[in-house]
Amino acid sequence: MAQTEIEWITSLAHALGVEPPNEAEREALLGIAATAAHASERTAAPISCWLIARAGMNATEGKLLADSLAKNG
């Protein structure tokens, strides 16, 4: 049987040696993905989340930036 979303994220986080995102962080990440997918193409969603993390931003900051970019397009 496949893992649930939370089980998968927790397993991946532990394999990477990091803490899994809390509920607020998950919601912000899903918001980033939704904004990116609606502002461009669906494939932009995961890469946008990766770029935000690579830049060292937290999920809340990233969500604000993504929303601003989408609004000012």
Angstrom distance (rounded) from CA 10 to CA 16? 10
Give the pLDDT confidence score for residue 73 in this predicted structure.
Answer: 76
Give the pLDDT confidence score for residue 63 in this predicted structure.
Answer: 97
Whether 55 maps to a domain, the answer reads: yes
Instruction: Say how many domains are in the chain.
Output: 1
Whether 16 maps to a domain, the answer reads: no
Give the pLDDT confidence score for residue 55 in this predicted structure.
Answer: 97
The mean pLDDT of the chain is: 96
Whether 7 maps to a domain, the answer reads: no
Q: Is the pTM of this model over 0.85?
A: yes
Whether 40 maps to a domain, the answer reads: yes
pLDDT tens-place string over residues 23-41? 999 999 999 999 999 999 9
Cβ of 66: how many Cβ atoms within 10 Å?
24
Residues of the chain with pLDDT below 50 are none
Structural domain that includes position 33: 22-72
Whether 9 maps to a domain, the answer reads: no
